[in-house]
Amino acid sequence: MIETGAIFEALSTVLTPYMMLWLVTGVVIGIVVGAIPGVGSVLGMSIVLPLTIPFGGTEANILLISIFSGAMYGSSISAIILRVPGTAAAAATLLDGYPITERGEPRYALALSAVSSALGGSLTMILLFLLIPFLTPLVLLFGSPQIFLVSIFGILMIGMIASQGSFVKGFTAGMFGILIMTIGLAPATPGTRFTLDSMLLYNGLDFVVILIGMFAIGEMLRASDVKATDLTDVTNGGSVFEGIRTSIKNYYLLIKSGLIGMGIGAIPGAGSSASNFFSYAEAVRSSSNPEEFGTGKAEGVIAAEASNNGTVAGSIMPVIAFGVPGSAATAVLLAGFILHGITPGPDLFGDQLDFTYSLIFALLLGNVLILFAGLTIVPYVGQYISNLRMDVIIPVVVVLSTIGAYTMRTNWIDLLTIFVFGVMAYYMYRYDYSVIAMVIGAVLASVIEVNLNRTLVLGDWSPIIFLESPVSIAIIVIMGSFILLPFLQNRS
Amino acid sequence: MIQAVEKRLGLEGGEIGLLAAMWLFSATLLVASFSYDGYTAYFPQFFAALVIIGTTMLLFRNYLPEPLYSFTAESVTVLDEGDVSDEVLEGETNIDDGMTAESDTDRGLPLELTGMIGGYLVLSFFIGILWATPVFVGLYSHRQDHPLRLTLLLIALTFGLVLLFLFMVNIPADVGYIHEMLGVA
pLDDT in tens, A418-450: 999 999 999 998 998 989 889 989 999 998 999
pLDDT on residue A227: 58
A202 compared with A230, residue with greater pLDDT: A202
% pLDDT > 90, chain A: 48
Q: Is A248 on the interface with B (CB under 8 A)?
A: no
The nearest CA of chain B is from the CA of A459 a distance in Å of 14
Which chain B positions have a beta carbon within 8 Å of A394's beta carbon?
A: 113, 140
A407/B171 touch (CB, cutoff 8 Å), yes or no: yes
Measured distance CA(A337)–CA(A443) in Å, rounded: 11
What are the Cα distances from residue A191, in Å, to A117, A180, A204?
A: 49, 17, 12
% pLDDT > 70, chain B: 81
- A193 backbone dihedrals φ, ψ, rounded to 5°: -135, 145
Nearest CA-CA partner of A384 in A27, A24, A23, A31: A31
Q: Is A91 on the interface with B (CB under 8 A)?
A: yes
pLDDT on residue A30: 94
Which chain B positions have a beta carbon within 8 Å of A86's beta carbon?
A: 98
| Residues in A 335-364 with any Cβ partner in B closer than 8 A | none
The nearest CA of chain B is from the CA of A249 a distance in Å of 24
pLDDT on residue A91: 82
Q: Considering CB atoms only, which of B57, B103, B124 is closest to A402? A: B124
- Asked whether the predicted pLDDT for residue B9 surpasses 80, the reply is yes
Angle at the Cα of A235 (from A229 to A239), degrees rounded to 5? Answer: 125
Tens-place pLDDT, residues A254-287: 999 999 999 988 877 666 777 888 899 899 988 8
- The chain B residue lying nearest A486, using CA atoms, is B76
- Asked whether the predicted pLDDT for residue B85 surpasses 60, the reply is no
Report chain A's mean pLDDT, rounded to a whole number. 88
If 0-12 CB within 10 Å is exposed, 13-18 middle and 19+ buried, where does residue A11 land?
A: middle
How confident is residue B91, by pLDDT bands cut at 50, 70 and 90? very low
How confident is residue A383, by pLDDT bands cut at 50, 70 and 90? confident
Size of interface A-B (CB pairs under 8 A): 270
Which chain B positions have a beta carbon within 8 Å of A53's beta carbon?
A: 169
Least confident range from A79-93, B39-53, B120-134: namely A79-93
The nearest CA of chain B is from the CA of A165 a distance in Å of 5
Average pLDDT score over residue span B67-92: 59
Mutation pick from B36, B42, B51 vs chain A, by most beta carbons of A within 10 Å, is B51
The nearest CA of chain B is from the CA of A5 a distance in Å of 35
Which chain A positions have a beta carbon within 8 Å of B150's beta carbon?
A: 392
Least confident range from A68-72, A177-181, A456-460, A488-492: namely A488-492
- The chain A residue lying nearest B145, using CA atoms, is A391
User: Is there a contact between A318 and A268 (Cβ–Cβ < 8 Å)?
Assistant: yes
How confident is residue A51, by pLDDT bands cut at 50, 70 and 90? confident
pLDDT on residue A351: 85
pLDDT on residue A326: 75
User: Is there a contact between A188 and A144 (Cβ–Cβ < 8 Å)?
Assistant: no
pLDDT on residue B96: 42
- How would you classify residue A237: left for phi > 0, otherwise alpha for psi between -120 and 50, otherwise beta? beta
| Residues in A 390-419 with any Cβ partner in B closer than 8 A | 391-392, 394-396, 398-400, 402-404, 406-407, 410, 412, 415-416, 418-419
- Asked whether the predicted pLDDT for residue A59 surpasses 90, the reply is yes
pLDDT on residue B105: 46
Which chain A positions have a beta carbon within 8 Å of B113's beta carbon?
A: 220-221, 224, 394
Task: Give the number of other Cβ atoms within 10 Å of residue B127's Cβ.
Answer: 17
pLDDT on residue A163: 62
Beta bridge partners of B96: B99
pLDDT on residue B69: 83
pLDDT on residue B92: 43
Which chain A positions have a beta carbon within 8 Å of B76's beta carbon?
A: 160, 166-167, 485-486, 489
Mutation pick from A182, A393, A460 vs chain B, by most beta carbons of B within 10 Å, is A182
Measured distance CA(A286)–CA(A425) in Å, rounded: 40
The nearest CA of chain A is from the CA of B147 a distance in Å of 12
Task: Give the number of other Cβ atoms within 10 Å of residue B1's Cβ.
Answer: 5
Which chain A positions have a beta carbon within 8 Å of B18's beta carbon?
A: 424, 427-428, 431, 433
**Total number of domains constituting chain A:** 1
A222/B55 touch (CB, cutoff 8 Å), yes or no: no
- The chain B residue lying nearest A34, using CA atoms, is B98
A269 compared with A393, residue with greater pLDDT: A393
For residue A457, how many C-alpha atoms fall within 13 Å in the half-sphere facing its CB? Answer: 11
B51/A176 touch (CB, cutoff 8 Å), yes or no: yes
Task: Give the number of other Cβ atoms within 10 Å of residue A389's Cβ.
Answer: 14
pLDDT on residue A83: 79
- The chain B residue lying nearest A430, using CA atoms, is B105
How confident is residue A289, by pLDDT bands cut at 50, 70 and 90? confident
| Residues in A 277-336 with any Cβ partner in B closer than 8 A | 277-278, 280-281, 284-285, 293-294, 328
Least confident range from A76-85, A255-264, A355-364: namely A76-85
- Asked whether the predicted pLDDT for residue A230 surpasses 80, the reply is no
Mutation pick from A98, A164, A169, A487 vs chain B, by most beta carbons of B within 10 Å, is A169
pLDDT on residue A347: 84
- Asked whether the predicted pLDDT for residue A27 surpasses 60, the reply is yes
pLDDT on residue A229: 55
Mutation pick from B29, B121, B127 vs chain A, by most beta carbons of A within 10 Å, is B121
pLDDT on residue B5: 84
If 0-12 CB within 10 Å is exposed, 13-18 middle and 19+ buried, where does residue B60 land?
A: middle
Measured distance CA(B140)–CA(B134) in Å, rounded: 10
Which chain B positions have a beta carbon within 8 Å of A88's beta carbon?
A: 95-98
B44/A193 touch (CB, cutoff 8 Å), yes or no: yes
The nearest CA of chain A is from the CA of B150 a distance in Å of 9
Domain range enclosing A366: 4-491
Q: Considering CB atoms only, which of B51, B72, B150 is closest to A179? A: B51
- Asked whether the predicted pLDDT for residue B106 surpasses 60, the reply is no
Q: Considering CB atoms only, which of A85, A415, A429 is closest to B124? A: A415
Beta strand A184-185 pairing with A192-193: antiparallel
- The chain A residue lying nearest B51, using CA atoms, is A172
Q: Give the start-to-end residue ranges of the domains of chain B.
A: 2-73, 111-182
Task: Give the number of other Cβ atoms within 10 Å of residue A78's Cβ.
Answer: 32
Measured distance CA(B1)–CA(B7) in Å, rounded: 10
Which chain B positions have a beta carbon within 8 Å of A412's beta carbon?
A: 125
pLDDT on residue A85: 76
Q: Considering CB atoms only, which of A168, A423, A449 is closest to B58? A: A168
Tens-place pLDDT, residues A114-158: 999 999 999 999 999 999 988 888 888 888 999 999 899 888 887
- Asked whether the predicted pLDDT for residue B101 surpasses 90, the reply is no
Which chain A positions have a beta carbon within 8 Å of B82's beta carbon?
A: 277-278, 281, 285
Sign of the Cα pseudo-torsion (B162, A14, A382, A292, in order):
positive
